[in-house]
Structure 1
Amino acid sequence: MFRNYIKIAFRNIRKNKLYSFINIGGLSLGLTACILIMFYVSHEHSFDKFHEDSDDIYTLRAKALFGGDTIFVQNFSAATGQMVQENSAFVDDNIRIFQEYKPLIIKRTGLEPKSFSEEGFFYTDPNYFNFFSFSLLKGNPETALKEPFSLLISEEMANKYFGDENPIGEILQVEKDSIYNYTVKGVIAETPSNSSIQHKFVASVSSLQKTKGNDGLFNSPIVRGGAFKTYFKINDATQIEKIAETTNRLSKEGNSESKDLFFLYPFTETHLKFSRNAGIGYLDVFPLIAGLILLLALINYMSLTTARASYRSKEIGIRKVNGASRKEIAFQFYIESTLFISLSFLLAGILSFLLKDFFFNLLDINIDTAFFLNQNFILTLALIFMVSILIAGMYPAMVMASFNPIENFKKKTRNDLGGGLVRKVCTTLQFIIAVILIIGGITIREQMSHLQNIDTGLNRSDILMISLEKSMGNNIPAFRKEVEKLPAVKGTSISGYPLYGGYDMFYASSENGEPMALPFISIDKNFFDVLELKWKLPPEDPFLPEQPKKLVINETAIEKFKLKNDPRGQNIEMAGAQFEVVGVVNDFHYSSLDSPINSLAMMVSKSNSSINKFNSGSLYVKYQKTSSLPALIKSIESSYVKFDAEKEFSYQFMDDAFNEMFKSEQRLAHIFNIFVVLTIIIAGLGLLGLATFSAQKRIKEIGIRKTLGASVFQITSSLSLDFLKIVLFAIIIAIPIAWLLARNWLENFVYRIDLNIWIFLMASFATMFVAVLTVSFQAFRAATSNPVKSLRTE
């Protein structure tokens, strides 16, 4: 019997090609969206859970209170971990990790010298492989990190520097302030993509102690902020609060004035909570939207299946007359639904595999292909498969099984077994979801456009920012002069950081206020002209800012530090010294748009090279709008390599750096647009199927109307009107829901758009256009058919 059900199901697929295409196509699109989204969501939730003792590992965090500011601290002194372990019976082990946040030059010398600028350089304790479950392909995990200048490299780096050679015992030179020779003691297996620790090079922490300029990292004997990420392996998760209390007590013992508040956070949750790349907002929104898209596809299937039920009424009647029970009829249609879902799931799996790279590029994430075989993800797929079968098969099976064969045999016309009211409700729900998503997509796009075009108080266009590293040293002035000689260059400036790429932070105070954090950047005198900053209170002497211990501040700093309306001549204490305010610029956005403009202090330096003394600097190049950018960049790079052959030439347009700050929202906009398109396609397919069914059901009515003189327009309008009423009703319901959701989302932004009525009108028009196009196409085909043929056929 089961085999017979399968045969009937395949026969119906072949016989009704249009409906089969709509059902399988719609289900495949919905399932593809669902699979890709759940693949991403499962991956994000799986971070760091591959470690053997992942549930026992916690990271240390702290809230530092200073003045009116709260700063979250994630790095601590070198002594913190061991002190907490020694004073708490609930801590079994601890480990410190220090990461180089700037690229280092790594060299292989010898017969085949190789040199690259590398990121992902870590220093850690010898218990690294006992604490975490990283695999060492070559080398002894117990001793590999015990000696100074011991180095472990990833499998990728081993191939990059040594090819097929055995790297164990070989020397790699690491260039910082000096050149240090590291001995390769092991090769680490590639870290999975769901690891928050992504290392390429792992050196012994004792190496850091013997590196110049790092004595201060190890001098503090107390629990406080510092340079090391600190992890604990605990033996009782119920005692987390007590461990935190111990840490706070130790902090107070080391510094009675400390206002730091320490707490422990589960290692497996730190990625979602603290990582900038986690996209935590997506993890709540995307599954919901993917579920809605899948629901639309399942609704399509149920609507079309039940609508077509009347065409199979005699088949079901004969089965019942021949003894088939209601349960057997229901089971038959469940088998058919399972077959449709299975074919759609197979096609969705193929589409997901083909589209995964495109999808992950939009999200700007990297996920191992092997994660497709992850146990939790496979269980998620199985759950989606079973739920889809349950939802898709339940209503059609109930409708078919409840059919009365005797009543149908008595009538020449087909009953509407599918329930017209149910289909209208389903179609309305589909278009409510479609309208909400369209309005959401337009709102996100307009908000992104608003942020990108906001008045930042400075000139961002036509400015190139070139990274300057310490390796260029005293060659900076010569390099700058060569750049300024280029015909396309209008002017240059130098700062300690590229704009929107960071700044220093000092605690400062005025005579009228308490200490608080003050963002600080080092610049040269051209900075104000190149970026076209506006002076609120210019310096009385243009050369005054270049003198020692002089500051230029922004407007917000006047209010925050309780200075006079004209603060020129007043002092701000910073880093233990007094600095005189000599000028005030109008507020401008130098950081994220997530919060209002904060205070800012700028120190003008005479020496170009001194700016680069402690931090990587940036050369700002203002160029002619009409210049050829490829030619300009090539010319600048040619000059750069003459003065710094070690570091790679790196640049960024200021506009791009600005847009990078809300990259997360831009990715959301791209993905949301895809969701909107999928929703419209699926809703359109469902509407097309129902319109086709309606036209077939009224084929004789159409023939009679044409015979009596009805025009094509009249017939098309008559067939389309019922569906367009449903779509219009859906729009009316969707608009207030979409307005509420959009308003709540926009409240997350300090600088946001107003929800203008045109957004809702545009979404309504787009939805009606798709509906009219879909329904009218099928209605026109029915209206132009030959009435003689339809009236002759019984």
Structure 2
Amino acid sequence: MGLGLAIPFALMALMQLQGSFEFDNFHPNSDKIFRIITDEKSNENGVSHYASSPYLLADNLRNNYTSVEKSTKVVRQFGWELNNRLKNIHVNTIYVEPTFFEMFGFRLAKGSIPTEPNSLILSQETAQKFFNDANPIGQFLTHPTYGSFKITGVLKPFKRGTQFRSDVMVSMATYEKFNADQLKPSSWAKLETHTFVKLAPNAQPQALDLALVEISKKTNTFLSSAKKTNSFRKQALADISPSTEDLRYNPYVDDLQEIYFNFTIPFMILLLAGFNYTNLTLARSLSRSKEVGVRKVMGALRSQIILQFIAEAILIAFFSLLVGVAILQILKSSIHINWVTWEVENQTLIWCAFIVFTLFVGVLAGSLPAWILSSFQPVKVLKGNILPATFGKIGFRKVLIVIQFVVSLGFIFFMGHFYNQFKYMATENDNFNRKGIFNMSLSDKNHALLVDEIAANKNVEKIGMVSVPFGGISTEYAIKSKPKDENIASYYYAADANFIDNMQLTILAGNNLPVSKSDSATNFVLLNERAVERLRLGTPQEAIGKAVFLNNSATASQIVGIVKDFCHFNYQFEKQPVVFQYNPAQFAVMAIRTNAKAPKETFLAEMQSIWKKHYPYQQMGYSWFEQDLYERYYPAEDMKMMGMAALVIIVIAVMGLLGMVTYSTEKRIKEIGIRKVMGASVWEIVKILSWSFMKLLIWAGVIAIPIGLAENWALDNLFTFYAGLNAGLMGVFFLSIFAVATFTIGYYAMRAAAVNPVKSLRAD
């Protein structure tokens, strides 16, 4: 069972390794496709190797060289977040052009390829997240900086093992719209694009080499001001993963050294499990000593006995493999994590790897016990004069037990700190109010009648308007206190006074936004403390009445209030300036504060009934704010995986302790018998046997608790808004492990103390 619990992590590492070799193998004619990589040489940094290349390279190859049948470019941007007015979701984004779909094996389930600016297609999983089972074609998603994007299509499911891993694919026309400088000759110095080439049917790869040399010579003249030169070379699609070269800007491609490094944790767990197997086997050596003696008397050679014990270890390892595979299937069906490879294509190869690996583990775990057990001398064994076999010094073994429990406690403390922080992020109500808030997406700007009818509902306490709910990235605005000052980046929310009240933001100075029924934006704003600090406006009280300028506007806006700093979307990021302004043109969500006693199902039915009166042919978009934020911030699947790893490490540590206790009691069995004959009680013997092991647990706790506090300190520095130390949770974890270990010690000590001394002293 110990090996069976440890093996799944090793099997996952083996699948990760094989999966890296099956990367991007689903594209047609992949043997003709190459990626262009760049070697950048500069006087300051020497030679740097990039998986990317200049933006204009793909067009140059396609238009000027007959050896190239097709070429395409891909641009990746990180940090995107899209919303459909209600849900804010982080998405992996790439910009693509139509030739991308001609070269690679991505197919549309419905719709069309995005070609126009601000158009995109979704993966099936992303379409489901945003729209459930509704048809997303023709719908819009909003980016806080780039505006609205029209959805033109949905992709068929595609293999996860690809460097083009993405949730949305955006038209290249969009990229050019916001990055016009990429079309200038100076862009040859920028390496932000991935270029792919498909050779013509009769073209030789050498022709592409010559073309790349020629292009680098022509374009290096544009790099003279940057004091560097570029040289380009091809890389076959099959050679991209696993990466054997240190390439910059090579996202989602597994580095071979990193894969090998990832084996260290499963190897450590297996090493601990193998050590425990050895420990337990040697602890039982006394019960098998007569068997070895009889076999030797009957003529068995030492090599035959060694082979027997190694065969037993291999057999146990294969049983452990069955247990491990079963656990792996349970993990696969119950934990859904994108960064874990759960499936590989070549099943024959992976099973061969599993079998060879299991043989290796069995031989490794069984060799030392086989060597020691086979060394017993028949004369001593059959006289009953042999003691249990020894594996190294007892002090060394005790150190290993302490290390095992320190690792177990350290890991579970670390997991506990993360759980505490994630739980805080998902459920806290300190930064702003999320309880009892029902968010409804506004269909158009003519929503006055809808608002009035909803406000008349008996379960509605207050209706606020906002451009985007808290929890996601909002629009970014430039602010400054004087027309000629340098702009400062800030987050911007179009909101009304009721929204500020619904969110229960703390106003430190001044007042809330003025109540207005106007259709145009007012020149009054609320700022947070950080904005006041960055604009150097003095104290919050001193900032009231002063002017700020938004997005280089010539018209100043007056500060009417200062709100306390709060976390409006990311608990890890440092505090940033936040601006609130009454701006009805940007209102997109109705934040409704409901009666806490109102049943959610009843309230939802009432809202849908009202919606249907005003928009009979349109589905209502809604969400319960508290539930949305919980789903956003709490990584349930990752916590499951961490919990499973913690459980395995704890079980292995307890099994190591079990081996030590069993070994010690077997070795002291005659001492126990003599003590009982001399009048010692069972409790006294249990106390004598247990105390040495209890000291190991206490030492492990003394070492592990400072480690847990150091972990808490590190996370406190990592998160700007941190939940703080949960000493009670640490105590529960420590006492739970201590109780399990104490029960293990007490149980086996009690068994040893209860043995009849007549049996243990019979040979004497």
SS of corresponding position for 1:526: helix
CA distance in structure 2 between the aligned counterparts of 1:272 and 1:42, rounded to whole angstroms: 23
Could you list the per-position Cα deviations for residues 632-657 of structure 1 after superposition, in whole angstroms to 9, with x for gaps in the alignment? 22322333344446665443343444
Deviation at 1:717, TM superposition (A): 1.8
Query: Is 1:599 equivalent to 2:607 in the alignment?
Result: no
Change (3 A) 1:32 1:465: same
CA distance in structure 2 between the aligned counterparts of 1:787 and 1:550, rounded to whole angstroms: 90
Could you list the per-position Cα deviations for residues 226-261 of structure 1 after superposition, in whole angstroms to 9, with x for gaps in the alignment? xxx954127779x99x989969969999xxxxxxxx
Query: Is 1:396 equivalent to 2:373 in the alignment?
Result: no
Deviation at 1:349, TM superposition (A): 0.7
SS of corresponding position for 1:583: strand
Aligned partner of 1:611 among 560, 572, 586: 586
Aligned partner of 1:479 among 439, 450, 456: 450
Query: Is 1:304 equivalent to 2:280 in the alignment?
Result: yes
Change (3 A) 1:78 1:412: closer
Query: Is 1:568 equivalent to 2:545 in the alignment?
Result: yes
Number of residue pairs aligned between Structure 1 and Structure 2:
686
Could you list the per-position Cα deviations for residues 309-366 of structure 1 after superposition, in whole angstroms to 9, with x for gaps in the alignment? 3333344445556776655544433322221111101221122113312122xx4x49
Conserved? CA contact 2:22–2:161, under 8 Å: yes
Query: Is 1:222 equivalent to 2:192 in the alignment?
Result: no
Deviation at 1:622, TM superposition (A): 1.0
CA distance in structure 2 between the aligned counterparts of 1:272 and 1:652, rounded to whole angstroms: 41
Aligned counterpart, 2:401:
427
Query: Is 1:29 equivalent to 2:5 in the alignment?
Result: yes
Change (3 A) 1:577 1:504: farther
Aligned partner of 2:746 among 776, 781, 790: 776
Query: Is 1:620 equivalent to 2:594 in the alignment?
Result: no
CA distance in structure 2 between the aligned counterparts of 1:625 and 1:298, rounded to whole angstroms: 56
Conserved? CA contact 1:432–1:734, under 8 Å: yes
SS of corresponding position for 2:497: coil
Letter in 2 for 1:350: A
Could you list the per-position Cα deviations for residues 281-313 of structure 1 after superposition, in whole angstroms to 9, with x for gaps in the alignment? x99998655444333322210101122233333
CA distance in structure 2 between the aligned counterparts of 1:641 and 1:274, rounded to whole angstroms: 50
Could you list the per-position Cα deviations for residues 607-653 of structure 1 after superposition, in whole angstroms to 9, with x for gaps in the alignment? 4xx325xxxx2221111222222222232233334444666544334
SS of corresponding position for 1:94: strand
CA distance in structure 1 between the aligned counterparts of 2:475 and 2:439, rounded to whole angstroms: 18
Aligned counterpart, 1:232:
195
Alpha-carbon RMSD: 5.7
Conserved? CA contact 2:531–2:576, under 8 Å: yes
CA distance in structure 1 between the aligned counterparts of 2:532 and 2:221, rounded to whole angstroms: 35
SS of corresponding position for 2:720: coil
Change (3 A) 1:733 1:566: closer
Change (3 A) 1:674 1:540: closer
Change (3 A) 1:151 1:782: closer
Conserved? CA contact 1:460–1:531, under 8 Å: yes
SS of corresponding position for 1:356: helix
CA distance in structure 2 between the aligned counterparts of 1:542 and 1:244, rounded to whole angstroms: 64
Query: Is 1:355 equivalent to 2:331 in the alignment?
Result: yes
Conserved? CA contact 2:420–2:726, under 8 Å: no
Conserved? CA contact 2:136–2:151, under 8 Å: yes
Aligned counterpart, 1:168:
none
Query: Is 1:634 equivalent to 2:595 in the alignment?
Result: no
SS of corresponding position for 1:371: coil
CA distance in structure 1 between the aligned counterparts of 2:406 and 2:285, rounded to whole angstroms: 26
Could you list the per-position Cα deviations for residues 493-524 of structure 1 after superposition, in whole angstroms to 9, with x for gaps in the alignment? 12111211221123344426312322222223
Change (3 A) 1:476 1:719: same
Aligned counterpart, 2:157:
190
Aligned counterpart, 1:558:
532
Letter in 1 for 2:100: Y
Query: Is 1:672 equivalent to 2:649 in the alignment?
Result: no
CA distance in structure 2 between the aligned counterparts of 1:45 and 1:653, rounded to whole angstroms: 44
Aligned partner of 2:495 among 507, 510, 523: 523
Query: Is 1:294 equivalent to 2:266 in the alignment?
Result: no
Ranges in structure 1 where 5+ consecutive residues have no aligned partner: 1-24, 61-74, 105-118, 158-170, 254-263
Aligned partner of 1:585 among 558, 562, 572: 562
Change (3 A) 1:243 1:33: same
Aligned counterpart, 1:385:
358
Aligned partner of 1:488 among 459, 479, 497: 459
Q: Which moved more, 1:322-331 or 1:676-685?
A: 322-331
CA distance in structure 2 between the aligned counterparts of 1:633 and 1:449, rounded to whole angstroms: 27
Aligned counterpart, 1:412:
385
CA distance in structure 2 between the aligned counterparts of 1:102 and 1:533, rounded to whole angstroms: 25
Query: Is 1:532 equivalent to 2:504 in the alignment?
Result: yes
Conserved? CA contact 1:499–1:590, under 8 Å: yes
Q: Which moved more, 1:439-448 or 1:735-744?
A: 735-744
Conserved? CA contact 2:95–2:169, under 8 Å: yes
Aligned partner of 1:440 among 402, 406, 414: 414
Conserved? CA contact 1:88–1:246, under 8 Å: no
Deviation at 1:457, TM superposition (A): 3.9
Deviation at 1:738, TM superposition (A): 4.6
Change (3 A) 1:181 1:138: closer
SS of corresponding position for 1:127: helix
Change (3 A) 1:785 1:122: closer
Letter in 1 for 2:315: L
Conserved? CA contact 1:493–1:621, under 8 Å: yes
Letter in 2 for 1:582: I
Could you list the per-position Cα deviations for residues 58-94 of structure 1 after superposition, in whole angstroms to 9, with x for gaps in the alignment? 799xxxxxxxxxxxxxx99998964798799999833
CA distance in structure 2 between the aligned counterparts of 1:152 and 1:513, rounded to whole angstroms: 41
Letter in 1 for 2:691: L
Deviation at 1:567, TM superposition (A): 5.5
Letter in 1 for 2:582: V
Conserved? CA contact 1:568–1:583, under 8 Å: yes
Conserved? CA contact 2:58–2:73, under 8 Å: yes
Conserved? CA contact 1:496–1:521, under 8 Å: yes
SS of corresponding position for 2:440: strand
Aligned counterpart, 1:17:
none
Change (3 A) 1:136 1:307: same
SS of corresponding position for 1:572: strand
CA distance in structure 2 between the aligned counterparts of 1:120 and 1:671, rounded to whole angstroms: 23
Conserved? CA contact 1:555–1:584, under 8 Å: no
Deviation at 1:31, TM superposition (A): 1.3
Change (3 A) 1:622 1:191: same
Aligned counterpart, 1:112:
none
Query: Is 1:721 equivalent to 2:674 in the alignment?
Result: no
CA distance in structure 1 between the aligned counterparts of 2:523 and 2:374, rounded to whole angstroms: 88
CA distance in structure 1 between the aligned counterparts of 2:499 and 2:666, rounded to whole angstroms: 73
CA distance in structure 2 between the aligned counterparts of 1:181 and 1:649, rounded to whole angstroms: 19
Change (3 A) 1:514 1:541: closer
Ranges in structure 2 where 5+ consecutive residues have no aligned partner: 39-51, 85-90, 127-134, 142-147, 198-207, 227-233
1:210-359 equivalences under 5 Å are: 222=183, 231-233=194-196, 289-317=265-293, 327-359=303-335
Change (3 A) 1:556 1:427: closer
SS of corresponding position for 2:543: coil
What is the TM-score normalised by the length of structure 1?
A: 0.69
SS of corresponding position for 1:625: coil
